[in-house]
Structure 1
Amino acid sequence: MVMTRHTLETLRFDNRYARLPEAFYAKVNPTPFSSAPFLISANRSATELLDLDPREAMRPEFAGVFGGSLLVPGMEPLAMLYSGHQFGVYVPQLGDGRAILLGEIVNGRGERWDLHLKGAGMTPFSRDGDGRSVLRSAIREYLCCEAMHGLGIPTTRALCLVGSDDKVYREQVETGATIVRMAPSHVRFGSFEIFYYRKQHEHLQRLADYVIESHFPHLVPVADKYLRFFAEVVERTARLIAHWQAVGWSHGVLNTDNMSILGLTLDYGPYGFMDDYDPGFICNHSDYNGRYAFNQQPYIGLWNLSCLAQTLLPFVPKEDLKAVLDGYQGMIEGAYQAHMSNKLGLVEKREADTVLSDELKSLMAGSRVDYTIFWRELGTFSSDPAAKNERLREHFLNPEQFDAWAGRYRERLRAEQSRDEERRVRMDRVNPKYVLRNYLAQGAIEKAQQKDYTEIDRLLDLLRDPYADHPSMNSYAAAPPNWGKHLSVSCSS
């Protein structure tokens, strides 16, 4: 089949969310910048998902459309309504306060993609906000969407980054920017919560039916479709968070309004990839009590799912929902241990492998070992009893403790007749060499603030394939400098 390359004007829109009752959203157009918007970066991989000719990015209209000053035929802009639990406290109304759903595109393969313009100006749900995004936060989201996709983690995608010379105040005065976020759906747990707490059960059921028909069509004819739908959301969420834990990534603001109903990583604010391994890592300096610390994410996933379960009580017996929630712990532990076994290069699955990986993580925490670097280097482990594995030992304050663990690891490899070279190939496919460390993102931000956007595209290209060796980019795999280890990020980031 020959794929049609579309222009901006010929994109195929089918705005199903806009056909829901207006209680679900507010119709609102983006607010243009007062200065002319300009393209900072366009993501070719994302344009291909839309069947959009990448040469369209060179047109001034491209920056106009995705900078909020132009609309193209088929767009029906709206701000989505939702509520949510923020840091454990229910907030009765949230909604898209600085993002606008421009429309829903259908590509030639029948895939659907929301175009969500973030930083588009005020909406009826902005509360006291100005509806804008700053360049700093837009760059962080733009890069991390694609970094997570490169790691194989379900996520929203990023189409492009558009800048302006408009001034926006956050913790300081910065320039405004927009990012186009793409996903099959931007419906969140909080989208259900608002109708449940308003006791608008007819709207709640309409939303559930819409989501099932649009994204879980195999459940449409099933008698207990709402329960089965919830079960699939639970499984997707468990697998998602298990993958975050395996790569050492922390979201930072796991409120229910930031939880995707499709199990996607949604809303990149004060996220962080760990440098030194610290199970209690808190990436958000606004999270004073550590509610969303790295080691709390699995529990918070369950807490948020219980909030979603509550919204389904009008349609599903409580005991059935509880039975599904009771399965969450086993799901996330099983998915996480599968990741850890793969990171260790093990082929056969054995119960004792959990102890082996837990012992290693304990040693890593005690020596503040760099999480990404060590796992990548573990692929070089020699199972030869005479080998000292000096390069690996150097990571630990007490190398003899590592030696004891290495002996147990060597025996485990021998038990399944593992071959070192084959194992290293497997391990390099699951232990990334490159991740978007905060200091790398900060370097791109500082250059961009000086109108140099080359580092953004350089990182974008690198992070698309984080498992491969890129010899010219080896410095990007190094441990961060001291200034880059504890960069402060907050909800405005």
Structure 2
Amino acid sequence: MSIYRADPAILKLGDRFYDPVRPAQFPVAIARFVNRRAAQGVGLNLDSEGWERHFHRFEPLPGNLEQPLALRYHGHQFRNYNPEIGDGRGFLFAQLRDERGRLLDLGTKGSGQTPYSRFGDGRLTLKGGIREVLATEMLEALGVNTSKTFALFETGESLQRNDEPSPTRSAVLTRLSHGHIRIGTFQRLAFYDDREGLHALADYCHRFLFDQPGAGAERLFEIVLSGTAGLAASYLVAGFVHGVLNSDNINITGESFDYGPWRFTPHWDESFVAAYFDHAGLYAFGVQPEAIHWNLAQLAGCLSLIADREPMEQALNGWPGLFQDALVEALIKRLGLRPADKESDLNLAGAMLAALRTRTATIDRFFFDWRGGRIPEGEVYQAFPFPSLARQLEGRAALPGAIDHPYWSDPEPCSMHIDEVEAIWSAIAERDDWSPFEAKIMAIRRMADAMTPPCA
């Protein structure tokens, strides 16, 4: 277990980046999910009372922030600029180092009203909390760089919502994340032409998030380009649709976070949409790379106030190439194969995409059946273009332990489609039966063990 190391570095930025707030007082504390594995990684060894004290009542952790901070930011929401947002139902609760020395944030969702709540109640539905747990656990298992759900408490309030049956149960969630600095954080400073603030924020990111103090805004942009290229590729290979890739939801560390109307598409359907209100398909499955690229252009515009625009424009133009390289790498990794030379990897990735686009099998089933270079014998894989894929796999080496886990002999792969999510919630809402939720978490973590064997 790691040693607890508090490091409230955000205070070095000064109070123009945040507002001190107070957490809501909730009538009930029922621990529905606590991530002991993640807690060990940041040196927190908590008993039940400790979890409740710090992640329901939000009493400060030792040597950490004395009062929670609602972070300030702006953002493009479905391409419309909004200067009236910020942490409206959450706050930064604490900062601490993990076993690798990285600075991590403990941030909340549903912890009460802030100066940015506008007309919202600052609360989170229990269903929304359950969905975030399921999303983060599944994405982590599939190798996506994601925040981790740290704790989820049911809070005993009845909430009114327009998009689900009301009144509905309430919750407060804490996430563990590699920073909460968003593209929208830079946009707010650029909006006010705060060049001193932009320099300070860029320096903060280099010093505390990327361990490259003094590297400059252009280098920062390159780091963000690389991280977001990997994120976009991992979304596709996981079959994941975030649903709301607004600029305030793009973390400059390239880490995915803040899960609202997410879904996993069963098949490789580039027009598949997660959010019912995304009528134009702006953030559809296959459009996500383009959406992230657009947001990166907004970041470049902000940083051009303190750096040379031309090198950033050239770097931005090279982002599609970074994404394609990351996509090839992610496809081959999920299949459990060793990388080969660039041409062979490109050809294999092309064959995989051609096979996935037939929608012959679900994304989960496809990667499950062909894992480790196995050639499935089922009739479903006999038609074009699967024979071409089989030829591309000849002579390819699997990663050590790629198919050693008993999971790879299961009759079905672990998945997270909308009918499964709704069934888990129905059991909770109708019978207060948490066993399907708990069983799914166990199944996801078993799959995670199979996906990342120790010998790999």
**TM-score, length of structure 2 as denominator length:** 0.88
Q: Is 1:42 aligned to 2:22, yes or no?
A: no
Match of 1:30 among 12, 23, 27: 23
Match of 1:394 among 376, 380, 388: 380
**Partner residue, 2:189:** 195
CA displacement, residues 299-335 of structure 1 (integer Å, 9 cap, x when unaligned): 1111011111111012211111101111101110011
**Correspondences of 1:257-406 after superposition (within 5 Å):** 257-343=248-334, 345=337, 347-349=339-341, 351=343, 354=346, 357-358=349-350, 361-362=353-354, 364-367=356-359, 369-379=361-371, 390-391=377-378, 393-394=379-380, 402-406=382-386
- Distance in 2 separating the partners of 1:137 and 1:372: 24
| SS, match of residue 218 in structure 2 | helix
**Correspondences of 1:437-456 after superposition (within 5 Å):** 437-449=417-429, 450-456=431-437
**Partner residue, 2:82:** 91
- Distance in 2 separating the partners of 1:19 and 1:271: 34
Shift of 1:26: 1.0
- Distance in 2 separating the partners of 1:185 and 1:356: 35
Partner letter of residue 394 of structure 1? V
Higher relative contact order (CA 8 A, sep 6+): 1
**Partner residue, 2:454:** none
Deviates more, 1:98-107 or 1:175-184: 98-107
Determine if contact 1:433/1:469 at 8 Å carries over to the other structure.
no
| SS, match of residue 41 in structure 1 | strand
**Correspondences of 1:57-76 after superposition (within 5 Å):** 58-59=48-49, 62-68=51-57, 70-73=59-62, 74-75=64-65, 76=67
Distance 1:124 1:463, change over 3 A: same
Partner letter of residue 49 of structure 1? G
Distance 1:93 1:405, change over 3 A: same
CA displacement, residues 284-309 of structure 1 (integer Å, 9 cap, x when unaligned): 11101000001101111110111111
Shift of 1:211: 1.3
Partner letter of residue 447 of structure 1? A
| SS, match of residue 270 in structure 1 | coil
| SS, match of residue 175 in structure 2 | strand
- Distance in 2 separating the partners of 1:69 and 1:15: 16
CA displacement, residues 351-389 of structure 1 (integer Å, 9 cap, x when unaligned): 376466445544544445311112211248766xxxxx5
| SS, match of residue 264 in structure 1 | coil
Match of 1:433 among 409, 413, 417: 413
Bigger-Rg structure (1/2): 1
- Distance in 2 separating the partners of 1:216 and 1:468: 28
CA displacement, residues 26-78 of structure 1 (integer Å, 9 cap, x when unaligned): 11011112x22221121111111221114x1x22x532432246445533211
Determine if contact 1:227/1:320 at 8 Å carries over to the other structure.
yes
Distance 1:13 1:371, change over 3 A: same
Shift of 1:341: 3.7
Determine if contact 1:30/1:120 at 8 Å carries over to the other structure.
yes
**Partner residue, 1:481:** none
- Distance in 1 separating the partners of 2:386 and 2:181: 46
**Correspondences of 1:193-272 after superposition (within 5 Å):** 193-218=187-212, 220-222=213-215, 225-272=216-263
Determine if contact 1:154/1:264 at 8 Å carries over to the other structure.
yes
Shift of 1:184: 2.7
Distance 1:410 1:41, change over 3 A: closer
Distance 1:96 1:405, change over 3 A: same
- Distance in 2 separating the partners of 1:128 and 1:159: 27
Distance 1:93 1:462, change over 3 A: same
Determine if contact 1:278/1:368 at 8 Å carries over to the other structure.
no
Determine if contact 2:102/2:209 at 8 Å carries over to the other structure.
no
Distance 1:418 1:201, change over 3 A: closer
Determine if contact 1:149/1:464 at 8 Å carries over to the other structure.
no
**Partner residue, 1:169:** 160
| SS, match of residue 383 in structure 2 | helix
- Distance in 1 separating the partners of 2:425 and 2:181: 30
Distance 1:97 1:408, change over 3 A: same
Deviates more, 1:131-140 or 1:444-453: 444-453
Determine if contact 1:341/1:349 at 8 Å carries over to the other structure.
no
Contiguous gaps of at least 5 residues in structure 2: 452-456
- Distance in 1 separating the partners of 2:416 and 2:404: 17
**Partner residue, 1:459:** 440
Determine if contact 1:32/1:69 at 8 Å carries over to the other structure.
no
**Correspondences of 1:15-26 after superposition (within 5 Å):** 15-26=8-19
| SS, match of residue 179 in structure 1 | strand
Determine if contact 2:178/2:255 at 8 Å carries over to the other structure.
no
Q: Is 1:78 aligned to 2:64, yes or no?
A: no
Identical aligned residues as a percent: 27
- Distance in 1 separating the partners of 2:211 and 2:220: 10
Paired residue total: 440
- Distance in 2 separating the partners of 1:51 and 1:342: 30
**Correspondences of 1:142-153 after superposition (within 5 Å):** 142-153=133-144
Partner letter of residue 432 of structure 2? K
Deviates more, 1:344-353 or 1:190-199: 344-353
| SS, match of residue 283 in structure 2 | coil
- Distance in 1 separating the partners of 2:158 and 2:441: 26
Shift of 1:146: 2.2
Alignment RMSD: 2.8
Distance 1:360 1:232, change over 3 A: closer
Contiguous gaps of at least 5 residues in structure 1: 5-10, 384-388, 396-401, 471-493
- Distance in 2 separating the partners of 1:252 and 1:100: 22
